[in-house]
Structure 1
């Protein structure tokens, strides 16, 4: 059984360990490249930690705020995450950006759908949030299918957005009206 729990500050180290492991699966051993991160340069763990730490201590409406939920199994291990965060422009405070991921050995079990439904409900109940936006690498068809299943509409594509390890990848923008 998987439960979705709001992140607590004391979980930062465990979350960063999980996220570092999750991102290390990016494009490896047959996994889809789901983040525009070069295998050559890898992950900067201290930047990752700072980005989340700073965003998570800020309140809604403050520049750079972020809200995070964790998917945990019966052993209280993190197996997935989903977060929403502000746009840098204060005039876009009615919109949030979505990010999410599930450990490779827990995919295809409905965890992504469960987390997405949880956050859609949260945004729907939060008067100040009207739109849930995301960017997904265009090659990640499984993720695009999941978002489409929950009503996200494709609003744009940028071909050749990223050049990762000398390979071109596109980006797809999607949005969901939660007002």
Structure 2
């Protein structure tokens, strides 16, 4: 397995992987990891566009996005991405998003992806903080982020009503200048 920076040519396979992840969102024993109800689980053109367009921008430019893929052969096992904050004057921070294939969850791939991107951001960027949003009901993700040095800095109670259920949104942050 290798972790590598995604290229535009990787997007068709990446979009298939994301579409599969969305189908699993909150199903069976899978945690709710995206704020969508069961009838909204399609990879929209707008979402595809944000990934596609962001990859064409330089880190630091409005709308930029970097995506790293964990791959084995041609199979995508997981991903992690960094992107700009929409708010002005936040160039010293980046937003993190990630996902791991159902087949690889609980095997340490999430930890590897986080450590990879933390190392990249600390050595190849001017970022001082990585931030993320996570649904409060996604206990496995919350535990992973905490183990990797993220701390909760905000909570929005009852942010979403998903399939009749109240779900809170947590913001977590990690300084890039803290010891590992």
TM-score range, shorter chain: over 0.9
The aligned residue for residue 172 of structure 1 is: 170
TM-score normalised according to structure 1 size: 0.95
CA contact (8 A) 1:37 1:43 kept: no
CA contact (8 A) 1:20 1:45 kept: no
Matches of 2:106 and 2:7, distance apart in 1: 27
Matches of 1:44 and 1:80, distance apart in 2: 16
Matches of 2:139 and 2:28, distance apart in 1: 17
Give 1:32-51 correspondences, 5 Å limit: 32-51=31-50
Runs of 5+ consecutive residues of structure 1 not aligned to the other structure: none
Matches of 1:25 and 1:151, distance apart in 2: 27
Matches of 2:166 and 2:152, distance apart in 1: 20
Deviations 1:126-154 (A, max 9, x none): 34111000010001111111111111111
TM-score normalised according to structure 2 size: 0.94
Give 1:14-163 correspondences, 5 Å limit: 14-73=13-72, 75-163=73-161
Matches of 1:132 and 1:153, distance apart in 2: 11
Matches of 1:146 and 1:33, distance apart in 2: 15
Matches of 2:146 and 2:16, distance apart in 1: 30
Q: Give runs of ≥4 in structure 1 deviating > 4 Å.
A: none
CA contact (8 A) 2:21 2:101 kept: yes
Runs of 5+ consecutive residues of structure 2 not aligned to the other structure: none
Matches of 1:26 and 1:50, distance apart in 2: 21
Other structure's SS at 1:58 match: coil
Cα-Cα RMSD: 1.1
Report the CA distance between 1:166 and its aligned residue.
1.7
Deviations 1:15-49 (A, max 9, x none): 11111111111001221111101112222432221
CA contact (8 A) 2:22 2:43 kept: no
Report the CA distance between 1:85 and its aligned residue.
0.2
